[in-house]
Structure 1
């Protein structure tokens, strides 16, 4: 694995080159992670694939200087720059938050994508809280205020959990990212910066059928954050192109023990 950087406008984008095979695979990581999260795939795929795993804005070693603004065109220009010299189309992999971004790329650039691998992906369902906090001006201002003054949120969240309105594992997940002031600041910056990534399912399904793009969906059986049901809902109407795999695990699927299954899905 080799760590590299590329200049994009005023920013420095860090990415990892994993493996040295002839087939190109672009990987987009999840929230709070970085491109190095895909390093466990090198052993199984490194001789047949070159994996380019990007550190997204406000993540990893990327130094993002474009404010709270990032579009699908920006992401595509970065990918185009780091993939110079490789043959298209390429395989696209997205995990969690990166899954939402991968879906947006498929919506706009389907002719360049050979296959899409989505691992516990965001973007297959519409989260009303995410929409409110990133797609409306009032909601975004409220989101910023709550990240600076989180105590009322904690009280409401814990009370809802006790009353059974809120899943305990989701509450624990939220506390993990909200208990620290820096983590809350990063959450606001990251969610707001990536607000333009809102994939349209109807267009996606049209693209999948028109361009004959196979989709591999991988979920954790015990994932309470992004459940397999979203995959089955998305599959409706495009059944021949979508395969669903369920792993005996939770949301954290980028682990060595899952390497063989993920590698098999990619190699199909």
Structure 2
């Protein structure tokens, strides 16, 4: 899908609400008919786009809040299935990750591929909640795929802020060498920008490797999708780079999980992107923590399909 420039965006900051036309091109992954009402906050050098959904008849003096993060190259609207399946009254704040939709560094605030720090992201979330749910109660952190990695980083930064953490096929438990080299080294930068200039050759190599049986159809499709245009390749680059500070160690994750009342890891039984084996180490490290569960549902990687979310919710709330 080509880059999308919205006509208008509601941006709020500490001084109130204003309607601005963005001056940058953003990568939009939701078709116009799929987009809901979105807001954006300009805070801490970032513009973060989000939406808020709430269940009907919220009567509590303190409203439970679910903060939700989507997967890579997907829109924040994906998390609506979780909102609809969630069995308890709540307000859900679904947040666009950096370089998705309208979320990105503010102009002149630093390099366009700079990392968002977990402590900064937590403060931005605090501001969103104060603005949108002033009578907020207990907080749940919900992350899917790369959104799960971001959720882990936010948890590690401030475990006392979260009553419940739900991690759906979370990234961040096993780092691929390709990602590490690409994101953290000068060689990786040079290699990625070479790929950007020679994408057709890369795709031919991918086809050959598939034909020879060295890679799967899924990986071949992944390569095609993420190299489909210059805009997409730059989004992948900036998206990977912007989340590089959100990769806590297993030791830090374990320490944070010891402090949160409830944490649930859910994986797809047939997931080839983030298989259940990625959680072996953290599962072994937390085997004595009664507040942490690891479960699987009959699914591939897409745990956000409505029928799959129903199974996920049963795992969390009925087990």
Distance in 2, matches of 1:137 and 1:198, equals: 19
Partners of 1:122 and 1:58 lie apart in 2 by 18
Query: Does residue 158 in structure 1 map to residue 207 in structure 2?
Result: yes
Within 2, Cα distance between the matches of 1:9 and 1:205? Answer: 28
Given the alignment of the two structures, is residue 231 of structure 1 paired with residue 272 of structure 2, yes or no?
Answer: no
SS, match of residue 285 in structure 2: coil
Q: CA deviation at 1:4?
A: 2.5
| Distance change >3 Å, CA 44–CA 234, structure 1 → 2 | same
Shift, 1:263, TM fit: 2.9
Is the contact between residue 33 and residue 59 of structure 1 (CA under 8 Å) also seen in structure 2?
yes
Q: How many residue pairs end up in the alignment?
A: 267
> What is the match of residue 66 of structure 2?
25
Q: Which residue of 2 aligns with 1:7?
A: 42
Q: Unaligned 5+ residue runs, structure 2?
A: 1-35
Q: Secondary structure at the match of 2:273?
A: coil
Check whether the contact 2:297–2:312 (CA below 8 A) recurs between aligned residues: no
| Cα deviation 1:222-259 (Å, max 9, x = unaligned) | 22111111123321121234322322222122111123
Change (3 A) 1:62 1:161: same
CA distance in 1, matches of 2:67, 2:209: 40
* Aligned-partner Cα distance in 1 for 2:125–2:316: 19
The residue that corresponds to 1:243 in the other structure is: 293
Cα distance between partner residues in 2 of 1:52 and 1:264: 21
Instruction: Determine if contact 1:37/1:254 at 8 Å carries over to the other structure.
Output: yes
**Distance in structure 2 (CA, Å) of the matches to 1:238 and 1:149:** 45
- In proportion to residue count, which structure has more helix? 1
- The residue that corresponds to 2:76 in the other structure is 35
Pairing 1:1-268 to 2, within 5 Å after superposition: 3-9=38-44, 11-20=46-55, 21=58, 22-45=63-86, 48-62=89-103, 64-65=105-106, 66=109, 67-69=112-114, 70-84=116-130, 85-87=134-136, 89-209=138-258, 211-239=259-287, 240-267=290-317
Query: Equivalents in 2 of 1:44, 1:92: separation in Å?
Result: 15
Cα displacement (A) at 1:193: 1.7
Q: Distance in 2 between matches of 1:241 and 1:157?
A: 43
Shift of 1:121: 1.2
Task: Give secondary structure in 1 for the equivalent of 2:163.
Answer: strand
Closer, same or farther in 2 for the Cα pair 1:173/1:266, shift >3 Å?
same
Once residues 237 and 13 of structure 1 are traced to their aligned partners in structure 2, the CA distance between those partners, rounded to angstroms, is: 34
5+ unaligned residues in a row in structure 1: which ranges?
A: none
Greater gyration radius: 2
Q: How far does the alpha carbon of each residue in 1:132-155 deviate from its partner, in whole angstroms, 9 at most, with x for none?
A: 111112212322221232234334
